[in-house]
Amino acid sequence: MAFLPFHIPKQKKLKVVIVGGGYAGIAAMVTLLRYAPDTEVVIIDPRMQHLKITHLHETFRYPLTDLLVPFADIENRYGCKHIAASINFDQKKLKDCQDRKLLVLDNEIVDFDYLVIASGCVGRPTEHVDNILDIEDFMTFAGSSLLAEFLAKNNHSEPTISVVGGGATGIQFLLEIKQFLTRTKNKAHLRLIHSGRHVLEQFPIGFSTYTQSRLQEMDIAFYPNSYYCEQRLDKILLSDKNEKKEYELPSDLSILFLGKKQLNIFTANAFGQVLENQSPLSNIFVAGDCSYYQSVGSNTLTAQSAVRKGKLVARNILRHSGFLGLLEPYLHHDLGYVVSLGPTDAVGWLGTTGNIVAGMPALAIKELVEAQYDFLLAGIDTYLI
């Protein structure tokens, strides 16, 4: 249905407000302006730059600036408007937005015909001390500079670094850190702490088998079934999942990847419209990690799902605003997923979860998929479905 002539406009120009300038929000904006170039789009995001967050682990090799696209550049390229502000929604506020068609920010009132909520998830809160890092730190400074600064200040000739979290983000950072230490000829010891029995447990078993063999080859210590409790001066406090006992290990630095915390998750119907008491708010859509669609489509917290939802809600806004009003259901299923294991290695699945690929072929797939988003950001849509 994405290929149907879905937009026969009833009014000359639409006003659309998008809250969140991540993957879903940008995909919605680009799609809207592709099919209806005269749409007036306002993006509300507290940051001054769009961050290609799926590349963040690569900042141990490349500058962080390579992953940042200033919203000022996006404004100039697309003719949209960016407002640097934060806004939180609850069901009462959403109902009020549906009725009044406006948002009240600190310094201005923004009216709209349609609202898209694409505010995403937040990382789980962590302590802010000198020997703890988390994803928020890497969103502000390059991994290479953060780690180099820590190593320069540390008094131990062979410090120990603990990476907590064996999901996709933690694994990608872990292997980049290992490569960084090797390149800089640093003798720091590296360990992985994970609450589960295997790494990458949300994926087919081939992911963990391949990845854990690579950890062993690289002499990275693995502590499964262990919960992180606290990073102390030069030790890390853990809790054994099975024995329910706490224990300490030497640790000069903990890098925490404790997963996303989904706050204010909005349930939507199959068309992306937010539901209130199981009734759709016809002019309010949601996309990305803050959304759950009552549909057969994928609700995974991945960039590809965020992009597909963003594109869908943009098409459905145009459909809803036109004469036909025939909306398109969300049917997208993930076509694959690849986890980077450093600059020259990766593991993933393609087409079906049983089709495991590893090594350079998997890395090539990951780079192609990420290049597809770069094309979309530049206004070239290569997504076929």
pLDDT at residue 4 tops 50 = no
> According to the model, what pLDDT value does residue 259 have?
77
**Cα torsion through 287, 290, 292, 293, rounded to 10:** -10
* All domains of the chain in start order, with CATH: 15-121+262-334 (3.50.50.60), 125-259 (3.50.50.60)
Q: What is the mean pLDDT of residues 132-139?
A: 95
pLDDT bracket for residue 126 (50, 70, 90): low
Task: Give 327-337 pLDDT, tens digit per residue.
Answer: 999 999 888 99
Please report, rounded to a whole number, the percentage of residues in the chain having pLDDT higher than 90.
75
Contact 226, 239 (CB under 8 A): yes
Instruction: Please tell me the pTM assigned to this model.
Output: 0.92
Residue 55 phi/psi, 5° resolution? -100, 5
Task: Give 221-270 pLDDT, tens digit per residue.
Answer: 999 999 999 999 899 999 999 998 999 999 999 999 987 665 678 999 99
For the chain, give the number of residues.
385
Pairing of strands 235-240, 246-250: antiparallel
CA 380 to chain centroid: 21
pLDDT at residue 384 tops 80 = no
pLDDT at residue 37 tops 60 = yes
pLDDT at residue 379 tops 60 = yes
pLDDT at residue 341 tops 90 = yes
Specify burial of residue 92 (Cβ count, 10 A radius: 0-12, 13-18, 19+).
exposed
Residue 7 phi/psi, 5° resolution? -120, 105
Q: How many Cα atoms sit within 13 Å of 5 on the Cβ side?
A: 3
Contact 232, 129 (CB under 8 A): no
Task: Give 154-209 pLDDT, tens digit per residue.
Answer: 888 899 999 999 999 999 999 999 999 999 999 999 999 999 999 999 999 999 99
pLDDT at residue 124 tops 60 = no
Rounded Cα distance, 259 and 236, in Å: 19
